[in-house]
Structure 1
Amino acid sequence: MFTTNHVRFQLSAEMNLLKPYQKTLQFSTLTSFAPPPTAPDVHLVGKAITILKRHHLINLDPLSTQFTPQSASYLLLQAQSDKTLILSFINWARRRPFFDLQCSCLSLHILTRFKLYKTAQIIAEDVAINTRADENGDLVFTRLKDTYSDCNSSSAVIDLLVKSYSNLKLVKRGLNTIHLAISHGYMPGVLSYNAVLDAIIRSSEPIKVAEEMYLHMIRTGVSPNVFTYNILIRGFCGVRDLEKGLGFFAEMQKNGCLPNVVTYNTLIDAYCKSRRLDDAFKLFKTMPNKDLEPNLISYNVILNGLAREGRMNETDEVLEEMKHKRIIPDEVTYNTLVNGYCKEGNFHQALVLHDEMTRNGLSPNVITYTSLINSMCKARNLHRAMELLEQMRVRKLFPNARTYTTLIDGFSQQGFMDEAYKLLDEMKKKGFSPSIVTYNTLINGHTVNGKMEDALGVVDDMSKTGLTPDVVSYSTIITGFCRNQELDRAYETISQMVAKGVLPDTITYSSLIKGLCDQRKLTEACDVFQQMLRNGLPPDECTYTALINAYCVEGDTVNALHLHDEMLKKGLLPDVVTYSVLINGLSKKARTLEAKQILFKLYYDNGVPDDVTYETLIENCGNMEAKSVVALIKGFCMKGLMNEADKVFDKMLQRKEEPGEAVYNVMIHGHCKGGNLRKSFDLYKKMVSHGFVPHTATIIALIKELIRGEMMVESSEVIENVLRSCRISDGEVAKALVEINHKQGNMDAVFKILSEMAKDGLLPNSGKTAYAQ
Structure 2
Amino acid sequence: MASISSSTTQSSIKILRQKTSPWRSSFFHHPLRAFFTNPPAKSSENETPPIDGEPISNQSHEFYGEPDQSSRSSSERVQESVKIFNKMKELGIDPTVRSYNNFFSVILKRGRTFMAKRYFNAMIRNGVSPNIYTYNILIWGFCLSTKMATANRFFSDMRERGISPDIITYNTMISGCCRVGDMENALKSFNELNEKGMAPDEITYTHLIKGFVGAGRIEEALDFFREMGGLKLKSNALIYQALVLGLYENGKMDDAQTLLKEMMKRNFRPSDPSIFLTVMKAQCDVGNLDEAMDILKGMKNLRISPESAHYGVLIEGHCNKGLHDKAGKLLDEVMEDGILLNPGGSPLEPSVYNPIIRYLCEIGHTQKAELFFRQLMKLGVQDPLSFNNLIAGHSRERMPEHGFELLKIMARRGIPSDSNAYSSLVESYLKICEPADAKTALDSMIESGHLPSPSLFRSVMDSLFSDGRVQTASRVMYTMLDKDVLENLDLVAKILEALLLRGHVEEALGRIDLMLRKGCYPDFNHLLTTLCKKEKTIAALKLLDYCLERDCNVNFSSYDLVLDALISAGKTLNAYSILCKITEKGGMKKPTSFESLIKTLSEEGNTKQADILSRLVAQKTSGARKGQKVAMST
Q: TM-score, normalising length from structure 1?
A: 0.36
When Rg is computed on C-alpha atoms for both structures, the one with the higher figure is 2
Higher relative CO (Cα under 8 Å, sequence separation at least 6) belongs to 2
